[in-house]
Structure 1
Amino acid sequence: MRPELTDWRSRGDYFDHDGHRIFYIREGSGPTLLLVHGYPFNSFDWHRIWPELTAHYDVIAPDMLGMGFSDKPIRHHYSVLEHADMHQALLSSLGVSETLLLAHDLGVSVAQELLARQLEGAPGPHLDAVVLLNGGLFYETYRPRLAQKLLCSPLGHVAGPLMTSPIITAAVREMFGPDTKPTDDEMKPLLEVLYYNHGRFVSHLVGRFVGERQTYRDRWVDALVRTKVPLRLINGPLDPNSGAHMVVRYRELVPAPDVVSLPGIGHWPQLEDPAGVTEATLTFLRSVNSG
């Protein structure tokens, strides 16, 4: 394993959720900030903004089931609802009753489900503020790439194990801005995390959350529209999947939309423009705390 991944894993811990080992890393001090990563990688997606966040917050970042260093059961029905359950269970096990939240990609759907539960008055840690990065907030506006469509199709069980490093690298680079694409060396830890513990055999199963975005579209959009939790959207507008077109829809539906666009950035703002994401996140969270 590459040294940076060995270091990341060594700083974390595991907890049991429904018989599965879930990896998480927790560092820093201050108000709690939960980080919810995207698909198909893991909490290491946050490593470029981690030092600045942990300088101000008690930061908790788990790997969702089927990804990263968490268990990757092959015969399992992966679900956004289960991912939301896991995050709530982790916070409760750590004695956290309220938290700030930063989410990306698949993580924005988890955030929407948590906001929906809070609106319903369901038990669980309270969300005090939410920052959303690029992700499929609105199913009708979401534009999944060809590789993702293939993995989510009935042919996913065949295509998933055949996804070689060059194919995945090309698909990932397509999502970045033209001047921020990852180098081969930067892709290596991302690919190693994806393949860790036979990950290539479950990635297509995890990726079927796209269907849930259609199933729960009204519930998750209603959560954004009706919530009283302060929201900020930080968006890489050049993301072909959920870039500027997603911001247009966000402004149409979300009352008093708070949006920060990062010029020249694509789908992974926290990797492409860590300084911009950090500044926009900390400025917003500080304004919420001071208010």
Structure 2
Amino acid sequence: MTDISLARYKELAQYSQLCGHKIAYWQSYDAAANNKQQTILFIHGFPSASWDWHYQWKYLARNYSLLCADMLGFGLSAKPRNHRYSLLEQADIFEALLLEKGVGEYHIMAHDYGDSVAQELLYRQAKRRSDNTVQTHAALQSVCFLNGGIFAACHRPLFTQRLLKSWLGKWLVRWMSKNSLEKSFYKIFGKNTPPMQQEIDMTWQLLRHNDGHLAVPEMLRYIDERSQWGERWVEAMITSTVPLYFINGIQDPISGRHMLDRYIEVIPDAQTSLLDVGHYPQLEAPDEVLRIYRNFLHAIQP
């Protein structure tokens, strides 16, 4: 993950059959010291892939065990057509991956679509504990959210996303191009931190891998799921004993300053940082995101 070319990304990928699907994942740790290292699980956003975390991965791998996966329908993972994609299924897949890798405790760093998956994992842990269920799952130790639809009512999808989610989506998606993706990226990145060409190229290539762009309308159902499950997710956050943090790029029109304001209003003793960037803080301000996240982890460790 330190070499960010597509060829290297593919070369380092490992694959596992999880919940009936072939999932690409990446793992970084010193096997001899793994029992002493804490695990960080990275969860990417829509419509990209785990490649988004390449900068943070490079530096955090020195002190932590790292794990990430391209979610079902994304990147190098399986992209079934006519499949009812679900945030809950994505959470199932991550739980299966954590179990397969023998992870006992872990932290989450999530972005965008991945925020909702992280919220579901947080909810599930809280539910198991309230039900006094025997703990057979990995124990979640903290969650760091980056820009995403944490509160469904505050989420402002782009017009193109709303069109692709509509009945027109199955026809419109065939006209998707790298040029249209680039236009969307320029809308959601910060004014002074526009997307680099490599970021556009990589996102497009990974989106198109195995014709994944054709599944976009089916995957956009996640917007409805956020409304369906949002109440229980937010309740789990409000009552959470797990430390939470929110890094927000305030120029983001989808989930920027308005989402941060709502987070501070709703979450008790909210821990947050604002950055003068757009929707992808981990790409637009990688050094700042790394510094903030390291400080957060150091603050919560005994």
Q: TM-score range by the shorter chain?
A: over 0.9
1:65 maps onto 2:77 in alignment:
no
Question: Which whole-Å CA distance do the structure 1 matches of 2:283 and 2:4 have between them?
Answer: 19
Alignment of 1:1-291 (within 5 A): 4-29=5-30, 30-121=37-128, 123-263=136-276, 265-290=277-302
Question: Which whole-Å CA distance do the structure 1 matches of 2:231 and 2:22 have between them?
Answer: 32
**Could you list the per-position Cα deviations for residues 113-172 of structure 1 after superposition, in whole angstroms to 9, with x for gaps in the alignment?**
011111111652110011100000001111111111111112111122211111111012
Identity %: 38
Question: Which whole-Å CA distance do the structure 2 matches of 1:185 and 1:39 have between them?
Answer: 17
Question: Which whole-Å CA distance do the structure 1 matches of 2:19 and 2:141 have between them?
Answer: 27
* Change beyond 3 A, Cα 1:9–1:244: same
Q: May I ask how many residue pairs the two structures share in their alignment? A: 288
Question: Which whole-Å CA distance do the structure 2 matches of 1:28 and 1:282 have between them?
Answer: 17
Question: Which whole-Å CA distance do the structure 2 matches of 1:201 and 1:70 have between them?
Answer: 14
Q: List gaps (5 residues or longer) in structure 2.
A: 31-36
Question: Which whole-Å CA distance do the structure 1 matches of 2:147 and 2:190 have between them?
Answer: 13
SS in 1 for 2:55: coil
SS in 2 for 1:46: helix
- Asked if the contact 1:32–1:58 (Cα under 8 Å) also holds between the matched residues in 2, the reply is yes
SS in 1 for 2:68: strand
Shift of 1:12: 2.0
With normalisation by structure 1, the TM-score equals 0.96
**Could you list the per-position Cα deviations for residues 31-87 of structure 1 after superposition, in whole angstroms to 9, with x for gaps in the alignment?**
100000000010001112221111121110100000000000012100000000000
SS in 2 for 1:247: helix
Question: Which whole-Å CA distance do the structure 1 matches of 2:279 and 2:72 have between them?
Answer: 22
With normalisation by structure 2, the TM-score equals 0.92
SS in 1 for 2:144: strand
Q: Which amino acid aligns with 2:93?
A: M
Question: Which whole-Å CA distance do the structure 1 matches of 2:143 and 2:4 have between them?
Answer: 32
- Asked if the contact 2:49–2:71 (Cα under 8 Å) also holds between the matched residues in 1, the reply is yes
Question: Which whole-Å CA distance do the structure 1 matches of 2:157 and 2:280 have between them?
Answer: 15
- Asked if the contact 1:65–1:72 (Cα under 8 Å) also holds between the matched residues in 2, the reply is yes
SS in 2 for 1:16: strand
SS in 1 for 2:147: coil
- Asked if the contact 1:150–1:156 (Cα under 8 Å) also holds between the matched residues in 2, the reply is yes
Shift of 1:107: 0.4
Q: Which amino acid aligns with 1:235?
A: N
Shift of 1:186: 3.2
CA RMSD of aligned residues (A): 1.4
Moved more, 281-290 or 122-131: 122-131
Question: Which whole-Å CA distance do the structure 2 matches of 1:127 and 1:177 have between them?
Answer: 32
Shift of 1:246: 0.4
- Asked if the contact 1:40–1:207 (Cα under 8 Å) also holds between the matched residues in 2, the reply is no
- Asked if the contact 1:130–1:230 (Cα under 8 Å) also holds between the matched residues in 2, the reply is yes
Shift of 1:183: 3.1
Shift of 1:3: 7.7
Question: Which whole-Å CA distance do the structure 2 matches of 1:118 and 1:183 have between them?
Answer: 38
SS in 2 for 1:22: strand
Moved more, 48-57 or 94-103: 48-57
Q: List gaps (5 residues or longer) in structure 1.
A: none
